[in-house]
């Protein structure tokens, strides 16, 4: 089976490395296409067996499974271009929350799905979010799910929860990184500790934190309670966090969903426009 990746930006490259390093797919069975050819060819330095194709049409001719890893508007355009070149045995996968399996199904005469990755898949951990269209066969559905299990914990998610799930899984690492950077900055401003030392302390703390969760020694709540001794200093710090953090995350989800609905409506318009032209 040949696998194709159209768009070798951040997430396209994460998927490429996850497939290869988990031994899910041999690099000789992976084909990539990118608007900037040099960027695609650079990937061959780490994966010599990789194939670079010049056009998306060539991807349709060569690949059984194709990931669309571009911006939402480009995904619609590429899907429209591929229409008529794919058969019902092939699978096209969007990795963007705002491009639904229904969008793809309206444009393509093949099997379709959505897989939202996380940067944590780069180290063969974390979650992938899966949504399947009615066009996908049970065999193909199981094949994709089992492949994802080699580098992640795949979770099938309903359309109504796809955005919030993506916020937690895909955006979450960026949100957590910002919070940790804010923690470091606060430590600098209040105490004068140098940034390098504070950063090292926080990074090693987070590695240990992840291990505690991974090994099941604590869950989120029990870990917090174990550290926050009654009447202790941690509790005083927690009081300050409780005043500012909850409302902040409510705003985060409002903003991400607002952007999501705008992109989804735009995708609806593009799909309808293309269907009208046809």
**CATH code at position 193:** 1.10.3730.10
* Helix/strand/coil percentages in the chain, nearest 5: 60, 10, 25
Same domain (yes/no): 214, 252? yes
Q: Is 272 contained in some domain?
A: no
Q: What confidence score (pLDDT) does residue 273 get?
A: 87
Find the CATH number of the domain harbouring 60: 3.40.50.720
The span from the CA of 145 to the CA of 170, in Å, is 18
Q: CB of 26 within 8 A of CB of 51?
A: no
158 with 176, same domain?
no
* Number of separate domains in the chain: 2
Report pLDDT for 48.
95
Residues 170 and 160 in one domain: no
- Same domain for 136 and 255, yes or no, is no
pLDDT lower than 50: segments of the chain: none
Distance from first CA to last CA of the chain, Å, rounded?
A: 32
Residues 17 and 150 in one domain: yes
The token duo for 114 is 């959505």
- What's the pTM value of the predicted model, to 2 decimals? 0.92
The helix-helix angle for 72-82 and 233-277 (nearest 10°) equals: 40
9 in a structural domain:
yes
Residue 179: give the domain boundaries: 165-261
Closest CA to 136 of 115, 163, 162: 115
Residue 270 lies in a domain: no
- Statement to judge: residues 57 and 140 lie in one domain: yes
> In terms of domains, do 125 and 183 share one?
no
In-domain check, residue 269? no
- What is the predicted pLDDT for the residue at 278? 64
């Amino acid at each position: 089976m040949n696998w194709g990746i159209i768009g070798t930006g951040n997430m396209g490259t994460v998927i490429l490395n996850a497939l290869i390093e988990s031994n899910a797919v041999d690099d000789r069975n992976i084909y990539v296409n990118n608007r900037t050819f040099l960027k695609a060819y650079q990937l061959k330095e780490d994966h010599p067996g990789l194939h670079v194709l010049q056009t998306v049409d060539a991807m349709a001719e060569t690949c059984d499974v194709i990931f669309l890893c571009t911006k939402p508007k480009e995904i619609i355009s590429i899907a429209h271009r591929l229409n008529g070149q794919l058969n019902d045995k092939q699978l096209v996968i969007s990795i963007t929350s705002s491009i639904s399996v229904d969008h793809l199904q309206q444009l393509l005469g093949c099997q379709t799905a959505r897989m939202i990755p996380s940067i944590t898949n780069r180290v063969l951990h974390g979650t992938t979010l899966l949504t399947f269209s009615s066009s996908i066969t049970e065999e193909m559905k199981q094949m994709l799910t089992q492949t994802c299990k080699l580098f992640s914990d795949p979770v099938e998610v309903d359309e109504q929860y796809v955005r919030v799930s993506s916020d937690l899984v895909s955006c979450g690492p960026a949100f957590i990184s910002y919070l940790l950077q804010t923690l470091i900055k606060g430590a600098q401003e209040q105490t004068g500790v140098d940034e390098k030392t504070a950063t090292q302390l926080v990074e090693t703390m987070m590695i240990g934190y992840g291990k505690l969760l991974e090994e099941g020694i604590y869950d989120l709540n029990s870990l917090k309670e174990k550290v926050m001794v009654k009447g202790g200093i941690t509790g005083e710090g927690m009081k300050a966090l409780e005043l500012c953090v909850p409302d902040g995350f409510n705003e985060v989800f409002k903003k991400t969903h607002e952007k999501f609905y705008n992109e989804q409506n735009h995708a609806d318009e593009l799909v309808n426009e293309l269907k009208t032209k046809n």
